Amino acid sequence: MGRLDGKVVLITGVASGIGLATARLFHQEGAVIFGVDRDAKAGMKLTQEFAAKRWTFHSADLTTEAACQSTIEQCHNTYGRIDVLYNNAGIASYAPFLEIEASALENVFAVNFMSVFYLCQQVIPKMLAQGEGRIINTTSELAIVAQPLYTAYCATKGAVMSFTRALALEYAQSNLQINMVCPGPIETPLLQTEFDAATDPKAAFDAGIATMPIGRYGQPEEVAKVTLFLASDAPQLMQGTAIVVDGAKTIL
């Protein structure tokens, strides 16, 4: 038996990186995956990979409350319950502070924080009605340590961390388990876009590795294994906990 046999898991940002690695691992463990991503083309390709009876892809831009409400309703209408919500979708924001425009700030907050807020707000009533549920929110090492040129991104991930803690406290006695995973630099398409934007992408890649105590970047599958623990075996005593997966980077 798999650790998630029959569990309905909604994963955002499912088409690549950590979200894709998590969907694959959870599916191997018996979960029914409701995958969400704004990249419809990439998402539909996954339908060929996953067993049709345990996979649904939903294309959505989760930057509005209406889209988040529709996403939760569609998942619930399809499967009758939502056992795990994994808020993984996110975008990077890299710019000098004085050059950050209001539209860019609003966009990164909409994707990285407001989508998490709205999806939690929509799914919690469903979980309360079914008597249990688990929510896993993705924050970042940059919610713990700061880094220049990432002010907007740091702010969004810090917001997710504080929000998750407050939410876990509010529902601590409701048989809901609400925790978070804090990845460090992980080799994903998102990280690669940052290197590609540099004057010398290879130099940027190597400079990043130099900051990693373990001498390499993390892999999406490593984060997925931690998320699996939070979705399945984590004891009820774990509430509002942030598990850091960063190769000791935040210790420096």
Residue 154 pLDDT: 97
- Cβ-in-10-Å burial (0-12, 13-18, 19+) of 186 comes to buried
Kindly give, in sequence order, each residue whose CB lies less than 8 Å from that of residue 41, ignoring residues fewer than 6 positions away.
none
Residue 47 pLDDT: 86
Of all residues in the chain, the percent with pLDDT exceeding 70 is 100
| φ/ψ (deg, to 5) at 131 | 95, -5
99: helix, strand or coil: helix
Cβ pair 185, 191 in contact under 8 A? yes
- Name all domains of the chain by residue range, CATH numbers in brackets: 8-187+220-245 (3.40.50.720)
Give CA–CA dist 94/149, Å, rounded: 5
Active-site option among 86, 153, 171, 217: 153
Token pair of 162 as six digits = 């504080």
| φ/ψ (deg, to 5) at 214 | -85, 0
pLDDT per residue rounded down to tens, the chain (252 residues): 899 999 999 999 999 999 999 999 999 999 999 999 999 999 888 988 887 789 999 999 999 999 999 999 999 999 999 999 999 999 999 899 999 999 999 999 999 999 999 999 999 999 999 999 999 999 999 999 989 999 999 999 999 999 999 999 999 999 999 999 999 999 998 888 888 877 898 998 999 999 999 999 999 999 999 999 999 989 999 999 999 999 999 997
Active site includes 171?
A: no
Residue 50 pLDDT: 87
DSSP structural state of residue 111: I
Among 106, 169, 160, smallest CA distance to 137 is for: 160
Residue 51 pLDDT: 72
Give CA–CA dist 15/24, Å, rounded: 11
String of DSSP letters for 116-181: HHHHHHHHHHHHHHHT-EEEEEE--GGGTS--TT-HHHHHHHHHHHHHHHHHHHHTTTTTEEEEEE
Residue 172 pLDDT: 97
| Tens-digit pLDDT profile for residues 27-86 | 999 999 999 999 999 988 898 888 778 999 999 999 999 999 999 999 999 999 999 999
Cβ pair 13, 90 in contact under 8 A? yes
